[in-house]
Structure 1
């Protein structure tokens, strides 16, 4: 792989991490898009969180925040990750290993937060009665159908992926 492609790949990964950081920041500050009714978020469980009842959604957010009580520390970690990334990108001579290390650390922290959220989501669903879980499954099915219908419509209109 040429140096230009490596840099382009690294910038693409960095942009993806930045977007994920913004989503995580919105979640931590305001409950984020995954906690808002009618919204679908990335992170592997957005539609699941959307299908929760409002009380469960609020409880999930409260549980998540209780596992990470120091929001300032999370923000500090994100700033450190961003600074490491920028330093690696601006270094001359360019050191791909330093960039890889910065990206790996940022990815690890993000993956840890996502795993925590997924564990809490499973715990909340496991605490539901069979009737609540069935109602949740019905809401999830409707949520997923809306997304599927939207994707199909975008494909027909030429606005979606081919």
Structure 2
């Protein structure tokens, strides 16, 4: 009779190994499908959202100009956009205004206006950065860029 200490732990069977292999293969296939779906669409084009109006302008920029724009906007955002805690406090103000008894629509409007003001300020910064970029282009570069905007718009029409 063998001692319990001398017994070897059971080795996983062939079926378990096959099932694990199939599981890994299915997971990889799923990740591949997700990545393919994401990469198939133009990430600049997006769908909806407040920045949707700007996508043809951004899509028509060459990679370097687009990266420079995003870099400048990130820096601007860091300098002017409230920190996470402040943004959270603004949402809390809206929630409190909605729960107030008696309800005060003007207080809710004021809380929403504070939030909207931040978005508007960021959009104005983005427009100013874009305008500066376009103003620095030569006539030929600006004409090529305008052609690129038209092409971006025609690509979008074809998708619909």
- TM score, norm. by length of structure 2: 0.63
Are 2:81 and 2:118, in contact at CA under 8 Å, matched by a contact in 1? no
Out of 120, 124, 131, the residue aligned to residue 122 of structure 1 is 131
Equivalent pair of 1:37/1:54 in contact (CA under 8 Å): no
Aligned to 2:66: 57
The CA RMSD over aligned residues, in Å, is 2.3
Residue in structure 2 matched with residue 90 of structure 1 by the alignment: 99
> 1:136–1:76: structure 2 CA closer, same or farther, 3 Å change rule?
farther
Who wins on radius of gyration, i.e. which is larger?
2
Listed as ranges, the gaps of 5+ residues in structure 2 are 1-40
> Are 1:45 and 1:118, in contact at CA under 8 Å, matched by a contact in 2?
no
Task: Give the secondary structure class of the aligned counterpart of 1:68.
Answer: helix
Aligned equivalents of 2:154, 2:87: Cα separation in 1: 35
Aligned residues: 116
1-structure distance, mates of 2:114, 2:150: 35
For 1:39, the equivalent position in structure 2 comes to 44
Structure of higher RCO (CA pairs closer than 8 Å, 6+ residues apart) = 2
Q: Deviations over 1:56-99 (max 9, x none)?
A: 01101111222233488343332122111111112222111111
TM-score normalised to structure 1 length? 0.63
Cα pair 1:85 1:103 within 8 Å, conserved: yes
**Equivalences for residues 124-143 of structure 1 within 5 A:** 124-143=133-152
